[in-house]
Amino acid sequence: PNCGLCKLCNREQETGAHIFFKCRFTIRIWKSLIERLGLAHMDTSEWHMHESFYE
């Protein structure tokens, strides 16, 4: 069993902030949700920044 690692990406500590805002899998879900809801006017440049940071 893993000890406190995020179950989605298995790379980072499973903290609330990580799961909701920093996990690359969560970010992907957020982005698809935003696109589906037609919220393209939201500033998503930050998301890209986070994603490349964890790449």
- List phi, psi (to 5°) of 25: -70, -40
Name residues contacting Zn ion, limited to 22-41 (CB under 5 A): 23
Asked if 8 is part of the footprint of Zn ion (rule: CB under 5 A), the reply reads yes
Q: Which residues pair with 5 in a beta bridge?
A: 13
> What 8-state DSSP symbol labels residue 40?
T
Q: Which stretch binds Zn ion (CB under 5 A): 17-25, 34-42, 43-51?
A: 17-25
Between 7 and 39, whose beta carbon lies closer to Zn ion?
7
Upper half-sphere CA count for residue 53 (Cβ side, 13 Å): 11
Interacting residues toward Zn ion by CB under 5 A: 6, 8-9, 23
